[in-house]
Amino acid sequence: MRPTVTLYTRVGCLLCAEAESALRRLAARLRFDLSVTDIEADEELHRRFLFEVPVVAVGDRIVAQAPIDIRRLEEDLREALRALD
């Protein structure tokens, strides 16, 4: 079973769109499933991440949040995914 990486986002967020595009490219190489969650659909997530989206998480571990360094994202994801093994 492949691990899931979650992207917390909101509609109209350009940084979120960039992060999603990068994560979709990385998903095949790093072998994970991507789950995209709109924080505006959940009051708790909205309160928690309103000023931090995009947020990338592996399980409960936040791997990256705005502003996301796309070049560093792959390295941080590799480390977080290895920790699941």
pLDDT in tens, the chain (85 residues): 899 999 999 999 999 999 999 999 999 999 999 999 999 999 999 999 999 999 999 999 999 999 999 889 999 999 999 998 7
Structure token digits, residue 27: 């998903």
Q: Write the class of the CATH domain 4-84.
A: alpha beta
pTM over 0.85: yes
Q: Domain segments of the chain: what residues? A: 4-84
- Residue type present at position 17: A
CA dist list (Å): 12 to 9, 15, 30, 52: 9, 9, 27, 14
